[in-house]
């Protein structure tokens, strides 16, 4: 179900810049939103770390490392990162918005792909990873969810959140990070992550594109991890008969369980891919896979997860002295070999690794089926199998095979991520302990819920917001502008426009009228009665400030107005008037008998202007005979005091 309506970030402006319009994806560590950069007026993707993880310094550091790493990768097949920052408890990345879908969406919809289509996707992916490897980074979480296919056909690699320097050995105590279906054996065993783990993951993704299914599956992460360690990826032709043997060899080369037998990085694998493409004819490249082959998978297996080391075992030592991962210089030195790409090695079975008993014990521990527990509960309890992402019919068959019954009537709900007709939930949840023959209720996806944006032109703002909510949309940011045609407070238009189809819960921005513009008249110096009449005649509202000020205006007249004369306001806007208390009265100094210079200085220092009245008898005098306002009396500050001179 689309829960955008309940998402607290939708409709908000993050960091004073990014307006969050809609939620488009939720992952294990972050949520991705479509947003608008209000400074540059461009749509982008905003990746916001889950607040619970934002409190963990190591996760925040990894998140910020993504921004710095990808910002250094100027490549057309890498999703560009524009900015990184924090806003309160939110840590975010601002990234390029790619309109389109993921490779996972394509596999869900179409299942197995033609070899040509699979190679057309794989090549730009390897080009992007090759750029990363040359820059000294490893992606570590390659999977179909991180391959974006734009509406224009461009292929881009996203989510470099797990990147590490090539010469860094990742060995997180007690855990490893990644997606179980695409983890290389050395990642599982000891956390080693050099470019060859990306090569392995690309081999698994390529197998999935050719067959429509993952090479290793199981009811739990432990089972999948065990198979990565102890079973080779089978040849794609075992699932899709008729595929050229060159494709089998390519998959075998990329997914060799021993790292030294794989291409040393994505650049080397890309050379092999191009070599294989050149060997195949048009008929082989365009061969249609059987329609029955579809991509069945469990969403939980596709999430980036922190996986307990208890699922892994101490391995046979991998040759750590191999200099193919010595660093960036070594990667650059190898590029000269591209003119003669390394031949595809013959498919060889790796010898079984030691620690088999330990692995089985760990698997049993994780599954919660120790021998004693199994014996006591045998025939009484079972677990709800994982059926998410499967068709309703297949899910019911799997429930029956597990000794359970599907409820007679399934529930239905909308989903932006799961195709219509597929299972999006069960009650009880997958993995829940349940008695044999109990009933499980399935929830089936009705696909994404879409809503047509209503025409809100001329509708009052409060009513427009209510209509959007009633239609299943969210009121978004409100901006206002003058309009001679739409009444003040009513909607001029929406973004997106009326009639546009959007997912339920999407935020709709509203443009609201401020009414016709009004020129504010000058009412300073007028009586309050006259000023009020002039402003109301112009369509404005009057408010009188509680505080009065001294001014040259008479007491009770308007000394100040806000906004000022000539400002453009909307009809009904408020103009605040500040009334005058009259001029400030100050004491006049007594200067009779003083010299002209002393008298002038004393009066000016007190805040008065001075006028000298010499007359005929005082032309040559220098003593003040009298003053217009006697000393000790008060006069308005700034007024003129006349002095007679003799």
Could you count the other beta carbons within 10 Å of the beta carbon of residue 3? 12
The predicted structure's pLDDT at residue 180: 85
Q: Which residues contact 587 (CB under 8 A, 6 or more apart)?
A: 606, 632, 633, 634
Q: Taking Cα atoms as reference points, which of 170, 183, 129 lies closest to residue 304?
A: 183
DSSP 8-class letter at 623: B
Distance CA 395, CA 406 (A): 9
The predicted structure's pLDDT at residue 466: 94
Asked if the bond preceding 143 is cis, omega within 30° of 0, the reply is: no
DSSP 8-class letter at 510: E
> Tell me: the pLDDT tens digits for 312-325?
433 333 333 333 32
Strands (E), 184-281: none
For 599, the token pair is 């008298």
Q: Which residues contact 229 (CB under 8 A, 6 or more apart)?
A: 185, 188, 189, 257, 312, 313, 315, 353, 359
The predicted structure's pLDDT at residue 86: 87
Residues of the chain where predicted confidence (pLDDT) is lower than 70: 1-5, 66, 69, 161-178, 291-380, 416-417, 616-618
Tracing tokens 């390519």 back to the chain, one arrives at 250
* 522 classed as catalytic: no
Active-site choice (2, 7, 141, 553) = 141
Distance CA 117, CA 520 (A): 66
DSSP 8-class letter at 163: -
Task: Sketch out the chain's domains with CATH numbers.
Answer: 1-97 (3.30.200.20), 101-313+324-352 (1.10.510.10), 381-445 (3.30.10.20), 450-513 (3.30.10.20), 517-579 (3.30.10.20), 585-645 (3.30.10.20)
The predicted structure's pLDDT at residue 440: 92
For 133, the token pair is 């490897």
Q: Is 431 left (phi over 0), alpha (psi -120 to 50) or beta?
A: left
The predicted structure's pLDDT at residue 331: 27
For 165, the token pair is 């320097």
The predicted structure's pLDDT at residue 178: 53
Q: Taking Cα atoms as reference points, which of 516, 511, 510 lies closest to residue 569?
A: 516
The predicted structure's pLDDT at residue 161: 53
Distance CA 141, CA 102 (A): 15
pTM (2 decimals)?
0.48
Could you count the other beta carbons within 10 Å of the beta carbon of residue 41? 7
Buried/exposed code over 190-205 (b: 16+ C-beta within 10 A; e: otherwise): bbbbbbbbbbbbbbbb
For 475, the token pair is 């009121």
The predicted structure's pLDDT at residue 617: 65
Contact status, residue 232 vs residue 257, Cβ threshold 8 Å: yes
Distance CA 149, CA 171 (A): 33
Radius of gyration of the chain (CA): 38
Could you count the other beta carbons within 10 Å of the beta carbon of residue 51? 12
Q: Taking Cα atoms as reference points, which of 213, 209, 202, 207 lies closest to residue 113?
A: 209
């Amino acid at each position: 179900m689309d829960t955008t309506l309940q998402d607290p970030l939708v409709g908000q402006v993050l960091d004073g810049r990014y307006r969050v319009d809609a939620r488009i994806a939720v992952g294990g560590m972050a949520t991705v939103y479509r947003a608008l950069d209000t400074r540059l007026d461009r749509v982008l993707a905003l990746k916001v770390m889950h607040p619970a993880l934002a409190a963990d310094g190591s996760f925040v550091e990894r998140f910020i490392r993504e921004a710095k790493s990808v910002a250094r990768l100027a490549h057309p097949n890498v999703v560009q990162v524009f900015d990184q920052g924090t806003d309160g408890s939110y840590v975010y990345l601002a990234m390029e918005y790619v309109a389109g879908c993921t490779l996972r969406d394509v596999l869900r919809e179409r299942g197995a792909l033609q070899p040509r289509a699979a190679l057309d996707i794989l090549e730009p992916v390897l080009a992007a990873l090759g750029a990363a490897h040359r820059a000294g980074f490893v992606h570590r979480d390659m999977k179909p969810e991180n391959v974006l296919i734009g509406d224009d056909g461009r292929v881009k690699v996203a989510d470099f959140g797990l990147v590490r320097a090539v010469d860094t050995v990742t060995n997180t105590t007690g855990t490893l990070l990644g997606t179980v279906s695409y983890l290389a054996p050395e990642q599982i065993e000891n956390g080693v992550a050099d470019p060859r783990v990306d090569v392995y993951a690309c081999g698994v993704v390529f197998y999935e594109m050719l067959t429509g299914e993952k090479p290793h599956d199981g009811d739990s992460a432990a089972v999948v991890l065990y198979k990565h360690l102890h079973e080779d990826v089978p040849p794609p032709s075992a699932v899709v008969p008729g595929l050229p043997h060159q494709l089998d060899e390519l998959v075998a080369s990329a997914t060799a369980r021993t790292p030294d037998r794989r291409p040393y990085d994505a650049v080397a694998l890309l050379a092999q891919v191009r070599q294989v493409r050149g060997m195949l004819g048009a008929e082989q490249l365009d061969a249609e896979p059987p329609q029955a082959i579809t991509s069945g998978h469990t969403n939980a297996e596709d999430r980036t997860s922190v996986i307990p080391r208890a699922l892994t075992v101490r391995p046979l030592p991998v040759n750590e002295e191999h200099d193919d991962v010595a660093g960036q210089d070594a990667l650059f030195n190898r590029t000269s070999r591209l003119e003669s790409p390394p031949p595809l090695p013959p498919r060889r079975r790796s010898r079984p690794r030691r620690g088999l008993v330990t692995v089985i014990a760990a698997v049993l521990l994780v599954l919660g089926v120790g021998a004693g527990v199994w014996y006591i509960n045998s025939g009484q309890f079972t677990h709800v199998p994982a059926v998410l992402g499967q068709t309703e019919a297949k899910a019911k068959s799997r429930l029956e095979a597990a000794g359970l019954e599907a409820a007679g009537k399934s529930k239905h709900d909308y989903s932006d991520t799961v195709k219509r007709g597929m299972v999006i939930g069960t009650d009880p949840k997958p993995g829940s302990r349940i008695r044999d023959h109990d009933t499980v209720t399935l929830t089936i996806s009705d696909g994404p819920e879409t809503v047509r944006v209503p025409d809100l032109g001329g509708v009052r703002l409060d009513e427009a917001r209510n209509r959007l909510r009633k239609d299943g949309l969210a009121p978004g940011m409100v901006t206002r502008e003058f309009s001679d045609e739409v009444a003040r407070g009513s909607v001029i238009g929406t973004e997106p426009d009326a009639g546009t189809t959007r997912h339920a819960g999407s935020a709709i921005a509203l443009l609201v009228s401020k009414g016709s513009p009004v020129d504010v008249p000058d009412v300073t110096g007028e009586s309050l009665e006259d000023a009020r009449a002039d402003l109301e005649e112009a369509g404005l509202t009057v408010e009188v400030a509680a505080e009065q000020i001294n001014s040259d205006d008479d007491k009770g007249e308007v000394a100040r107005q806000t906004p000022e004369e000539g400002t453009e306001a909307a009809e009904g806007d408020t103009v605040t008037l500040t009334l005058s208390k009259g001029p400030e009265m100050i004491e006049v100094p007594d200067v009779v008998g003083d010299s002209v210079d002393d008298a002038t200085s004393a009066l000016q220092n007190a805040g008065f202007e001075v006028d000298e009245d010499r007359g005929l008898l005082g032309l040559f005098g220098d003593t003040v005979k009298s003053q217009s306002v006697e000393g000790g009396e008060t006069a308005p500050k700034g007024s003129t005091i006349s002095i007679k001179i003799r």
